[in-house]
Amino acid sequence: MKKKVAIVGASGYTGRELLRLLAQHPFLQATAVMTARAGTQPEPPAFPNDPVIAAYDEQALRTVDGVFLCTPHGAASEIAKAALAAGRKVVDLSADFRLRSPERYAAVYGAPHPAPELLTEAIYGLTEHARAAVTAARLVANPGCYPTSVLLPLLPLLQAGLLDPHAPIVSDSKSGTSGAGKNPSERTHFGNVHENFCAYGIGNHRHQPEICQQAGTERVVFVPHLLPTFRGILSTLYLTPATGTTAERMRSCLQERYGHEAFVQVYAKGAPELRCVQMSNQCHIAVHACGPVAVVVSVLDNLLKGASGQALQNMNLMLGLPEGAGLS
């Protein structure tokens, strides 16, 4: 018998991706598909094979084994508390539980944290680096899409001491428009994106504190850009090797760390492109020498490995299922 899960916030991009993944999952089924808004009218299917999206019903959380929260930040915490009180496993795809400090959350998101008592319990679910903790967790904070693309190549290099401890860590990152979510804005309007390219959030993007927290350093320089595409992230990291370290050694470090991982691939030569990973749960990484720095290119699908795919990895582990189930 399949285990049951709820998707709260099912009408957004990440909720729809989860519905698509769960439709082919051998061990899970979405039996509660809801908005985050109580008392609203059910949303009719957007396409013929889509389910009706019901209004939020707290009682429905008691009928499932796990809950995916695909809500905006600030809205997830109260639902998470209700699901945890009902004994359910929770993966939160919003930003509510990513930052450990309630003070830093308030500074970044402009409001007090709605559930600071849960911050010490929440596990940051970068799956390949938190597998044991995720397996034992009740509450997982699913990483942001940009941070996933940066941290997967960066963490092993920091942990191995292969980077100059004083040099800045520069991440030049580009995302498709789906990273901004479903709600339209002037910035993501087709007429402003088509045949255009821009940097944004320079020095104040909400993902920078998340990257710095997980990397354990404030030396990160993170500059995001908006691509005229729908899905995918390409992050180019400019890293200064430690004395005596080469780009080849850095590549070997990543190959050793991820050699047995199903969803991370390190190239022996060449560089990955968005089309290599779109519609997959893969992160592809390459390392090249470039004068005094090593250039690391990391690509993933922001809606899958950067969001719903990684969330499913985490929920699989939390419910005792094969980590890759539903993600082939």
* Catalytic residue list: 145
What is the side-by-side order of every strand in the sheet holding 169-175?
Answer: 198-199, 220-226, 169-175, 233-239, 293-300, 283-290, 264-266
Token code pair at residue 7: 């998707």
Whether residue 21 contacts residue 308, with contact meaning beta carbons closer than 8 Å, is answered with yes
Whether residue 313 contacts residue 281, with contact meaning beta carbons closer than 8 Å, is answered with yes
Whether residue 81 contacts residue 115, with contact meaning beta carbons closer than 8 Å, is answered with yes
Q: Which residue has the tokens 């849960």?
A: 118
Between the alpha carbon of residue 112 and those of residues 59, 83, 109, 222, 316, the distances in Å are: 27, 21, 8, 25, 31
Rounded to an integer, what distance in angstroms lies between the CA atom of residue 115 and that of residue 132? 24
CA-closest candidate to residue 149, choices 216, 218, 224, 95? 224
Token code pair at residue 291: 């004068």
Rounded to an integer, what distance in angstroms lies between the CA atom of residue 272 and that of residue 153? 13
Q: Which residue has the tokens 């709820």?
A: 6
Q: Which stretches does DSSP call E strand in 103-252?
A: 123-124, 139-141, 169-175, 198-199, 220-226, 233-239
Rounded to an integer, what distance in angstroms lies between the CA atom of residue 6 and that of residue 126? 21
- What is 40-60 written as a DSSP string? PPPBPPSSTTSPPBBPP-GGG
